[in-house]
Amino acid sequence: MTRVAVLDLDRCKPKRCSRLCYRFCPIVRSRIEAIRFEDDKPVIVESLCTGCGICVKKCPFGAISIVNLPDELEKDCSHRFGQNTFKLFRLPTPFPGMVLGLLGQNGIGKTTTLKILSGEVKLNLGNHEEPPDWDEIIQHFRGSTLQNYFQKMRENTLRVSHKPQYVDKIPKAISGKVGELLEKVDEREKLDEIAEHLELKQVWNRPLEVLSGGELQRVATAAAICREADVYLFDEPSSYLDVKQRLEVAKAIRSLKDDEKTIIVTEHDLAIIDYLSDQICIFYGESGVYGIVSNVHGVRIGINIYLQGYISDENVRFRKESIIFHEKPPTISLSAGETLVKWKQIEKSYEAFKLAVPAGEIRRGEIIGILGPNGIGKTTFVKILAGIEETDNGSELGELKVSYKPQYISAEYEGTVQELLMSVAKENFSSSLYKTEILQPLRIHLLLDRNVAELSGGELQKVAIAACLSRKAELYLLDEPSAYLDVEERLNMARVIRRVVENNNVTAFVVEHDVVAQDFIADRLMVFTGEPGANGTANLPTSLGDGMNVFLKEMNVTFRRDPSTKRPRVNKEGSKLDIFQKQIGEYYYVRSLRR
C-alpha cells in the first residue's frame, strides 16, 4: 500500500489538544517515530505509518488525512509540493486541434496541472526533496504525447498562453487601459474579431482597476487568445459571466481549433464545458489530499461518468451516489401555496439605468430562479426585496423577515467560522438538524476552526450561503451562490436551499447564471430582459420550461436533455437539432419528447 498523509497546518493546534495524534499512534508506542513534531507542528513519515487511522479520528480539528492507495499508483505520481502535502497522480494528455476539458472538485489538482503544463511549476514526480532533471521527466513519459511536450518545454520551443483562475488579481500586477494592453499582445492579429465577440469595445478606454469581474474575465480571455502560442490553457473562463457571455467566450476559445492549437480548459459549469470540449479528463480523489487524472473520454460520456461517480474502464467508484437530474413537473397551480408577499409595480432609476418590474406576488414553499444578462437589474431587484435599495416611489413590501447573501462577499468578520455561524444560527447551531441539513452537505464542519479572513473564495462562498440560510427568515435572497463552487458543491448548495425552503415553508429568490444549477434548483423562473447597462424589465415568475424558453430565445441558444442523466446540454450552433428547435420555438428542449 502507498500512503498519502496530508496535514493542514492551518487547522493543527497541538497546544490545544495535547498532541493527541502523537499520543495515540501505535507505532510511537514502539518507539518508531511515524509521527514526530518539528517546530511544534506534526510530521507524518508515510513509510512508517501503518494507516490505522487512529490519529485521524483523534484529531479534534480535522487537520490530518491519511489515505491508503494501491502501490502501482505510486509509479504514476506526477507532483508533490512537500512532505505531508497534496499529491497528484498522472497528467492529462493533450492533442492538437482538440479542446480537452478538465472536470473535478475544487482542490483536486486541476489548477496545479495547468501550472505544470504552462511551465510555472516544474513537476517533480513526487520527489520533492531531490527533484528530477528534465532527462528523468522525459524518460518517465516516454511513449506518450507528454514526452514530446516536455521535450519542447526543456528546449524552450513550446509557447504557452495561460489564462489564470483568479482574474481579480490581474489589476494588482498589470496597469493600463484595456485597448492599449490588448493591442500589445495581439500577436495573431485577431483582436478586432475577438473584441467584437466578447463586447470589449465599450470598455476599451477604461483602466483595468475599474473593471468588474466579468469585464476582467473577458479581457483576460481575449489576451490569452490573441497571443501566438502552441498551447492555450484556460482556468475557469466562465466565472462572473452571464449565459450569453459564457457561450461567446466558449466560441472564441473553440476558434483556436481552426489553427490546430492544443487547448485545455478547466470549468465547473457543466453546460459550458459540454459545449466547449471535445474530450474530457476526470479528476477524482480526495480534495486537498490527493488527485488522480482519468483516461480521456468523449465529452458526453466523460460528463455522464462524472455524474454517475463510476469509471468503468478503470473500475473505480469515486462517489457513493449518482447525481441525477429530473424533468420538472407541470407548473404549480395558482391556488397552491399561501401568498407570502405582493408588490405593486416597481421602478428604480439611476443616472444611466432604469429598472421596471410589474406588479406580482410570491408564494410560500417555492424557489424562484432569476435569469438574465449582466447589468440588466437582477441584483438591483434583489436589493429592493432585501430593503437595501429604495424604489422611486418609496413603496415597501411590508414587514417581512429577509435573509440576504450578496453577489460580492468579503471576509470582514474577525473570528472563526464557528463563531460567525453561532452568532447567526444561535440555539439552532448545536442541533443535529442544523448539522445534517446545512453544515455537512456544504462541508462547513471542516472549516469551523478556520478564521473567516483566511478562507479561499469557494470556502467563503459556502460560509456566506450557510450564514444566509442560518437566519430565521420568511424570504431568502441569494445572489450568484455558485460562484467559485465546483459541480458537486453547486448541486449540494441547491439541495440545501431546497431543504430549508421546504422544511420551513418559506420562499427563496436565487440569482444564477449556471443554467444547469438553475435547472436543478428552481421551481419557477423570473427572466430579466432589456439593454444591459441602460434599461431592464422583469417578467413575472413563470414555469421553469416557459421561463427557460423565453430566456434562451433571447440568447438565441437551444438546449436538449441528455437521455441518460437528464442534464441540460447546449446544442452546437447550426446543428440539425438546433435548427429544428428554433423552427418550432422550443429553445429549452422539445416538449413533445418530455417523458
Mean pLDDT, range 177-185, rounded to an integer:
93
Q: How high does pLDDT run on average in the chain? A: 89
Angle at 132 between CA 130 and CA 136, to 5 degrees: 150
Instruction: Answer with the residue of higher pLDDT: 220 or 53.
Output: 220
Residue 592 pLDDT level (bands cut at 50, 70, 90): low
How much of the chain exceeds pLDDT 70, in percent?
A: 96
Task: Please tell me the predicted confidence (pLDDT) of residue 595.
Answer: 40
Q: Is the pLDDT of residue 336 over 60?
A: no
Annotate 347-392 with DSSP letters as a single string. Answer: EEE-SS-EEEE--EEEETT-EEEEE--TTSSHHHHHHHHHTSS--T
Residue 327 pLDDT level (bands cut at 50, 70, 90): low
How much of the chain exceeds pLDDT 90, in percent?
A: 51
Q: Is the pLDDT of residue 314 over 80?
A: yes
- Domain spanning 2-69, CATH architecture: 2-Layer Sandwich (3.30)
Residue 202 pLDDT level (bands cut at 50, 70, 90): confident
Helix, strand, coil distribution of the chain in percent, nearest 5: 40, 20, 40
Task: Please tell me the predicted confidence (pLDDT) of residue 593.
Answer: 47
Could you read off the pLDDT of 33-56 as tens digits, one per residue? 788 888 888 899 888 888 888 888
Domain 339-542 in CATH 3.40.50.300? The answer is yes
Looking at the domain 74-317, which fold is it? Answer: Rossmann fold (3.40.50)
Task: Please tell me the predicted confidence (pLDDT) of residue 334.
Answer: 41
Task: Please tell me the predicted confidence (pLDDT) of residue 317.
Answer: 92
Instruction: Answer with the residue of higher pLDDT: 478 or 458.
Output: 478
Sign of the torsion formed by the C-alpha atoms of 205, 207, 210 and 216: positive
Partner residues linked to 303 by β-bridges: none
Contact at 8 Å (CB) between 219 and 174? no
What are the φ and ψ backbone dihedral angles of 437, each rounded to 5 degrees?
-95, -25
Nearest to 253 by CA among 245, 265, 239: 265
Mean pLDDT, range 180-207, rounded to an integer:
92
Q: Is the pLDDT of residue 590 over 80?
A: no
Q: Is the pLDDT of residue 335 over 70?
A: no
Residue 424's contacts (CB-CB under 8 Å, 6 or more residues apart) are 467, 470, 471
- At CB < 8 A and 24+ separation, what contacts does 444-450 make? 444/417, 445/62, 446/62, 447/417, 448/416, 448/417, 448/418, 448/421, 449/11, 449/13, 449/61, 449/62, 449/416, 449/417, 449/418, 450/10, 450/11, 450/416, 450/417
Nearest to 510 by CA among 499, 521, 496: 521
CA atoms of 572 and 275, how far apart (whole Å): 7
Could you read off the pLDDT of 360-369 as tens digits, one per residue? 888 898 999 9
Contact at 8 Å (CB) between 104 and 88? no
- Fold match between 2-69 and 339-542? no
Residue 138's contacts (CB-CB under 8 Å, 6 or more residues apart) are 147, 150, 151, 154
Mean pLDDT, range 440-447, rounded to an integer:
89
Residue 309 pLDDT level (bands cut at 50, 70, 90): very high
Mean pLDDT, range 69-86, rounded to an integer:
89
CA atoms of 331 and 3, how far apart (whole Å): 52
CA atoms of 470 and 467, how far apart (whole Å): 5
CA atoms of 505 and 338, how far apart (whole Å): 9
154 burial class (0-12, 13-18, 19+ CB within 10 angstroms)? Answer: middle
Q: Is the pLDDT of residue 29 over 80?
A: no
Mean pLDDT, range 111-120, rounded to an integer:
95
Task: Please tell me the predicted confidence (pLDDT) of residue 566.
Answer: 84
Contact at 8 Å (CB) between 377 and 407? no
Q: Is the pLDDT of residue 100 over 80?
A: yes
* Greatest extent of the chain over all pairs of C-alpha atoms, in Å: 78
Q: Identify the weakest region by mean pLDDT among 86-100, 227-241, 542-556.
A: 542-556
Task: Please tell me the predicted confidence (pLDDT) of residue 183.
Answer: 94
Q: Is the pLDDT of residue 398 over 80?
A: no
Neighbours of 172 (CB within 10 A): 9
CA atoms of 593 and 43, how far apart (whole Å): 58
Mean pLDDT, range 90-115, rounded to an integer:
94
CA atoms of 239 and 150, how far apart (whole Å): 30
Q: Is the pLDDT of residue 487 over 90?
A: no
Q: Identify the weakest region by mean pLDDT among 46-60, 244-258, 321-335.
A: 321-335
Nearest to 274 by CA among 295, 305, 312, 316: 305
Residue 466 pLDDT level (bands cut at 50, 70, 90): very high
Mean pLDDT, range 552-565, rounded to an integer:
87
Q: Is the pLDDT of residue 333 over 80?
A: no
Mean pLDDT, range 70-87, rounded to an integer:
90
Highest mean pLDDT range out of 330-344, 388-402, 479-493?
479-493
Q: Is the pLDDT of residue 428 over 70?
A: yes
Task: Please tell me the predicted confidence (pLDDT) of residue 226.
Answer: 95
What residues does each domain of the chain span? 2-69, 74-317, 339-542, 556-595
Mean pLDDT, range 13-21, rounded to an integer:
83
Could you read off the pLDDT of 564-578 as tens digits, one per residue? 888 888 888 889 999
Could you read off the pLDDT of 284-299 as tens digits, one per residue? 999 889 999 999 999 9
Task: Please tell me the predicted confidence (pLDDT) of residue 591.
Answer: 63
Q: Is the pLDDT of residue 329 over 50?
A: no
What element of type H or E holds 117?
A: helix 110-118
Neighbours of 518 (CB within 10 A): 26
Q: Is the pLDDT of residue 133 over 90?
A: yes
Q: Is the pLDDT of residue 157 over 90?
A: yes
Residue 332 pLDDT level (bands cut at 50, 70, 90): very low
Mean pLDDT, range 242-268, rounded to an integer:
93
Q: Is the pLDDT of residue 111 over 70?
A: yes
Residue 397's contacts (CB-CB under 8 Å, 6 or more residues apart) are 341, 343, 385, 387
